Structure 1
Amino acid sequence: GFSYFNNQKLKKAYDKEIIVADSLYQAKDYETARNSYRKALSYRPNVPYPSEKIQEINQITGIPIASSDTLQQEIPEEQKPEEISAPRTVAGTLSPEDRQNMYGLFAGAVVGEKEFYTLENDLIKVNLSTLGGRVYSAELKNYTTFDSLPLILFDGDSTVFGFKFFTWDNKPIETNNLYFLPIADGKSMVADNSSRSVSMRLQVEPYKYIEYVYTLEPNSYMVDLDINLVGMKDIFTGNLNSLDLNWEIFLPQQEKGRQNENKYTSIKYKYYQDDVDGFREMSSKDLEEKEITTKVRWLAFKDQFFSSVIIADNYFLNAWVQSQKLPESPKYLRHFRTELGVPFEGKDSEIINLRFYFGP
């Protein structure tokens, strides 16, 4: 029964992503459509339709088509340095009417300008993007890669962090693709003598919004994330008791011995009030995934020596995790994904207290 539930969940996610991708394709927003088809393909790798659409887009946009797996080829393509700064937005191709039809109350957040705000102390430097209001990159300042480059745990437009939900009028919303309004004392904040904070707010109506408040203390690898949900119980579809929080990163190679580093790269998680578990290190599997139906305290994307961890002050209700090896990519070892169930009590105002750990 459980694998049936898992398959049905993946099929629903696939179907929803295909609807979005097809709409973007029809609107000729090919770059964003390709990202959506790739995401759909990750839900159902054996379905040919997303690969066919990606190849069509590649022909239209002039990207050479490789004969091997389309998903594998697309991952490094998106990560070319010259493309990192290009905003992923449908603003240029969707009419105001189309935006309203697709996004409803969130239509105003489809249009915006991608800006970056920095939080740093003596240990870490975190870049925050107004697109998605998310952590765009995380750098460990006292470490370097094997070839003496800055040690960056993850970065780029391919990073995903945000909530996925349906509104009361049945609009599928992914906050990762919407523009947040920044609230900060400046674009570069240094926590040297005291803590510093940056807020990112996704405004729906004057007193209805989702707000991420990032706070960094001096001499700490920990970034506090307080999520304020204000007036959102009237926006979400009825009778919600949890929200899906998605987090995805491409994990870059840091050490000289790629094969050895890959052996010790994995996803780990701690059950609430119980033991640590996760995918087995040195596993030979190219793709692993697991549905966790019990409460989880934290979840870590880890390589041989460093980790990116999301921690709940209380707990996550459940989780789904996936690890995919990227043997064709010269830069990246793995694509890590998780979907976490965040408790929601349906109050007029709620605060979800989370933390990130970026460090050794």
Structure 2
Amino acid sequence: MWYIITTILKSFETDIFCILILCSLSLANLGVFLILKKVSMVIDAISHSVLLGIVLAYLIVKDLNSSFLIIGATLVGVLTVYLIELISKNSKISKDAAIGIIFTFFFSLAIIIISIFIRNIHIDTDAVFLGNIELAHSSKLYKIIPVLILNLLFVIIFYKELKIFVFDPSLTNLLGFSSLWINYSLMTLVSLTTVISFDLVGSIMTVACMIGPAATSRLLTKRLLTCWLLSLWLALVNTSLGYYLGIYFDLNVSGMIAVVTLVIFLIVLFCEPKKGIISKTITNYFHKKNLILINLLMHLENNLIQKKTNNIQNIKNELKWSEEIFRTCLRKALKSKYIIQKNKKILITSLGKKYLYQKIKLIFNP
């Protein structure tokens, strides 16, 4: 244990850790609203489209280290968002289709320009996807701090408007707020945050931190404020854990943060007490068993009303169940004293009738 701690402390770099934390908080801060609006794939579109902005800016300044590359990427990111909104609102094309059309067009256009005009320029694909955060220094903080402050102020000041807009855009206009302004302001901030984070930590961590914490918190709560705060906390936890694991195992930090984000999402997806896959599977299993038992008792009661003989073999043939299901259900009913067995006949008891009527009442009057 002490060896693990000393290994992490030796390689720990405060500047890099702060950049990662600030990036993840900036992304998760807006991710909740994208998840609720069901437009999370906009992030993927922006992360592909910004290449066009970088390429066009490079053609003008001829310098890969110029800050104009970030400006060009930001402008194309904003343009991507606006075009997606424009196409999806003014045609019969869905937003998903609009996202696919725009980002593939911009990305392919960037590839064509690269192959024709700047084919001799080397672009490090590993740096594009995973970032070069290990080489970052404190000056990078000045890029992300204003973005985080701007995002937090936007959400805090316009929280009420955002809440109404996310769940009912029409009501936003009726109450005197411009849903168009809120939407474009939100998407502009999303674009700006995505581009800055893309430059600092790479596209994989950018997409993971924008969507992962928000999607995880959405599984745990339905309240917007709780969901927003929880997504920020999860972003902090995911980033910290991913950074420490990346240091200890000497792996790419951005990639490890994305992996941790996915793992925590899957843990919540499977193990969430109320709506997790495991709890749902267990609940459905017992519901199925109870429904089979109710079906048996209902059949016995109907036969009793119609004055039919509840012979074991006849009941089995009428229900058309397999031998295993029928015997299992019979044993459970006998053990619970809902039925009694006499001379190869099954009789429903008063306790069985009471149980049956209670369940029927719950079904029709939940």
Larger helix fraction of residues: 2
What TM-score results when the alignment is normalised by the length of structure 1?
A: 0.22
Point out which structure has higher relative CO (alpha carbons under 8 A, 6+ apart).
2
The answer to which structure has the higher strand fraction is 1
Structure whose alpha-carbon radius of gyration is higher: 2
